[in-house]
Amino acid sequence: MVSTLVLGALLIGCGLIFPAQTEDADKEKVKWAEHRQRAAQYYDGGDFIRAAAQYKKALNIKPNHIMTQLGYAYSLKNTKHVPNVMLSIKVFNDEIPQQSDLNREVKRIFGSADCYRMLAVQFRRRADSRENKGLLKQAGEDRVFSAQYANDGIVGFERVLAIDHEMEARQITSPFRASASLAPLAHLGIGVCCIVLGDRKNQAPLDRALEEINVYAQTAANARTWWEKERKKKIETEPMADAQIPSAGEALGGVEDRRRYDERIKSTIQKEALVRQALVQTYMYLERYPDAIDQCTRVVELDDTAPDALYYRARAYALLKPPQYERAVEDMKEYRSRQDLSRLTQKVIQINKLIRSYERKLHEQKKQAEADRTTNG
């Protein structure tokens, strides 16, 4: 009888305790979900600092949730603030365990590699700035760090490509295969890291940079062709003005789809143009002017509103041996036409000075050519 009463009391007690624990657990789940939702909203809106803060709060509830860990690390990375980027590397490399799921593993490796790329560029820029100020010792130290980060980035990006080949060999062809979408960006990342490593004493990385950028460019061009076809289909099947404000239902279809395709097309063009312009500046520094001209032309073909490409191409034409001043004048005048000429800024003054210089040298060049013809005739 006593045992029965004790057992009954225990069962009643359990009934009182466990519902409370369940209720607390449910509240924690709700809080976790709220933090995750807010983090995603901030991330999509480009507010990566707040996104990281919300992901961190979610991790305080579920510290080992892999997608939350990845969201936190990517948010830190995308702030582009050096301390945050370094913290992001720690999360990617030390806090997130290696994943058996290759889709998740490739995101972890790519995130880490992209952090190294960002740091390589940051330290290289700082090294160049310090060198221009005569701070040679500090510049040398920054270059060492820059090269180390660039090499670490290349290792990571190569691993991403290796995983993609592995998944392709295993015929994992799901459209949600993360490696397939990250592979072009891995080629681009290697290209950027190689640009950072290139200098007058070691120009081989630049040749590889061009190869990797061209691989990315071809892949991006193929993707743009597909997106453009899809966009055309949407226009043909659901004709409506792009500027039309869609209703709630339409936002899920025609207009929204076309805008998404437009954003993807624009994004790939911008990425390619940006990295090719970085290659241009490096070629100019190394006095590889034909290569600089070729890359400037590629940038102009991608985006004819990119005025910097015209500026560097004009400078490169003028520095060729023999110089092509006529083309230099044409490009520099076109570059000037795209400036705000209502104000006489230092930039406009410099452009006018260069044009006058090229025109004078072009006149002298033609005069010399005429004299040579007269002498030979």
Residue 1 forms part of a structural domain: no
Where among 71, 93, 115 does a domain terminate?
93
In terms of domains, do 193 and 136 share one? Answer: yes
Contact of 154 with 110, CB cutoff 8 Å: no
Q: Where are the alpha helices (H) located in 133-200, listed in sequence order? A: 136-169, 178-197
Residue 68 forms part of a structural domain: yes
pLDDT at 41: 93
Written as six digits, the tokens of 220 are 């991006």
Task: Give the structural domain span for 67.
Answer: 25-93
Q: Which of 186, 113, 183, 108 is nearest to 153 (CA)?
A: 113
Give the angle 142-126-351 at the CA atoms, nearest 5°.
Answer: 145
Distance CA 333, CA 362 (A): 14
pLDDT at 330: 94
Distance CA 256, CA 15 (A): 51
Tell me: the pLDDT tens digits for 315-343? Answer: 999 999 999 999 999 999 999 988 888 88
Distance CA 150, CA 144 (A): 10
Residue 9 forms part of a structural domain: no
Tell me: the pLDDT tens digits for 186-242? Answer: 999 999 999 999 888 888 998 898 889 888 888 888 877 877 777 777 666 665 544
pLDDT at 18: 53
Residue type, 192: V
Span between the terminal Cα atoms of the chain, in Å: 132
In terms of domains, do 82 and 104 share one? Answer: no
pLDDT at 250: 42
Give the angle 276-295-81 at the CA atoms, nearest 5°.
Answer: 15
For the chain, residues with pLDDT lower than 70 are 1-21, 23-24, 171-177, 234-258, 377
Residue 246 forms part of a structural domain: no
pLDDT at 252: 38
HEC secondary structure over 89-145: HHHHHHHCCCCCCHHHHHHHHHHHHHHHHHHHHHHHHHHHHHHHCCCHHHHHHHHHH
In terms of domains, do 108 and 141 share one? Answer: yes
In terms of domains, do 82 and 184 share one? Answer: no
In terms of domains, do 298 and 310 share one? Answer: no
Written as six digits, the tokens of 311 are 């500026």
- Angstrom distances, CA of residue 69 to CA of 66, 94, 223, 271: 5, 11, 30, 27
Where among 52, 67, 93 does a domain terminate?
93
Residue 324 forms part of a structural domain: yes
Distance CA 165, CA 321 (A): 44
Instruction: Work out the number of other CB atoms within 10 angstroms of the CB of residue 22.
Output: 10
The pTM for the full model equals 0.75
In terms of domains, do 105 and 83 share one? Answer: no
In terms of domains, do 190 and 277 share one? Answer: yes
Where among 93, 112, 131 does a domain terminate?
93
Written as six digits, the tokens of 271 are 């990425």
In terms of domains, do 103 and 45 share one? Answer: no
In terms of domains, do 278 and 312 share one? Answer: no
Residue 12 forms part of a structural domain: no
Domain count, the chain: 3
pLDDT at 243: 47
Residue 219 forms part of a structural domain: yes
Three-state SS at 199: strand
In terms of domains, do 204 and 219 share one? Answer: yes
Residue 228 forms part of a structural domain: yes
In terms of domains, do 226 and 139 share one? Answer: yes
Instruction: Work out the number of other CB atoms within 10 angstroms of the CB of residue 73.
Output: 27
Written as six digits, the tokens of 122 are 């940051």
In terms of domains, do 278 and 322 share one? Answer: no
CB contact set of 296 (below 8 Å; sequence gap of 6+): 280, 309, 310, 312, 313, 316
